């Protein structure tokens, strides 16, 4: 399965008036990076970069003057994303802008069934948050120290690492082998999950706030609650 982890930078927050000025994407095949990337800067025409947006990404009107229009890069964009899932953090924002740009050119929108929102994934997995990209990088030990400004390609690279962690991609390895050690291949439809033994346990990803909140919840369940046994064993 092909997926493109992508990000956009824009002139502002209103996709009906503001424009996309940068798109970056990282290709994954079965959740593994292929090394293929997509990156363009885009001239927004007569729409200027809002000062608040400039403070976030640092992309100036002067820098964008000699860049191609969205119409000039759209074929390359569609070719790179063809038949792949679009994966973004807070995808509603990015897809709103992409589809607005497509609509201006009379192109069909990308439908929701082709989009994965990593923010929604993170909120389900970590309901107490925080779930910004920076917060998830800290949670999963992804080095984002070089991220002084937002940038579409850099943010895509960081998000690709976070996404693989969110879906558990680094927790197990998969192999078509028997589990009995006999060396015979498993059936073609059978996938054996082999989890490697870590030499040292991973540090807890729970924050102190999350741990305290859990303890407070367990305390309300009464003395016979099974969760009390686990809490008392820590």
| Two structure tokens written together for 38 | 């997509």
Parallel/antiparallel/unpaired status of strands 2-10 and 85-88: parallel
Residue of 31, 39, 150, 214 with catalytic role = 150
Phi, then psi, of 158 in degrees rounded to 5: -65, -45
Specify whether the CB–CB gap between 23 and 40 falls below 8 A: yes
Q: Decide: 20 and 98 in contact? Cβ < 8 Å.
A: yes
Q: Catalytic annotation on 150? A: yes
Q: Is-contact 40 68, C-beta < 8 A? A: yes
Whether residue 21 contacts residue 159, with contact meaning beta carbons closer than 8 Å, is answered with no
Tell me, what DSSP letter sits at residue 35? Answer: E
Omega cis (within 30) before 130: yes
* Residue 131: how many other CB atoms lie within 10 Å: 22
Report, as residue numbers or ranges, the catalytic residues.
150
């Amino acid at each position: 399965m092909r997926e493109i982890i992508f990000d956009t930078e824009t002139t502002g927050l209103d996709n009906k008036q503001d424009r996309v000025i940068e798109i970056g994407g990282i290709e994954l095949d079965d959740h593994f990076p292929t090394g293929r990337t997509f990156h363009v800067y885009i001239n927004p025409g007569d729409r200027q970069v809002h000062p608040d947006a400039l403070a976030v990404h640092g992309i100036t009107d002067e820098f964008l003057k000699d860049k191609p229009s969205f119409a000039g890069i759209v074929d390359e964009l569609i070719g790179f994303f063809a038949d792949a899932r679009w994966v973004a953090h807070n995808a509603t924002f990015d897809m709103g802008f992409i589809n607005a740009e497509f609509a201006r050119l009379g192109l069909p929108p990308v439908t929701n069934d082709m989009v994965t929102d990593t923010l929604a994934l993170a909120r389900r997995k970590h309901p107490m948050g925080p779930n910004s990209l920076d917060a998830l990088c800290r949670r999963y030990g992804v080095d984002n120290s070089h991220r002084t400004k937002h940038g579409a390609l850099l943010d895509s690279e960081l998000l690709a690492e976070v996404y693989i962690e969110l879906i558990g991609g680094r927790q197990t390895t998969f192999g078509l082998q028997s589990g009995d050690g006999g060396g015979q291949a498993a059936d073609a439809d059978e996938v054996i999950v082999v989890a490697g033994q870590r030499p040292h346990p991973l540090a807890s990803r729970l924050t102190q706030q999350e741990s305290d909140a859990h303890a407070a919840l367990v305390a309300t369940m009464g003395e016979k609650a099974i969760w009390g046994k686990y809490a008392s064993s820590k």
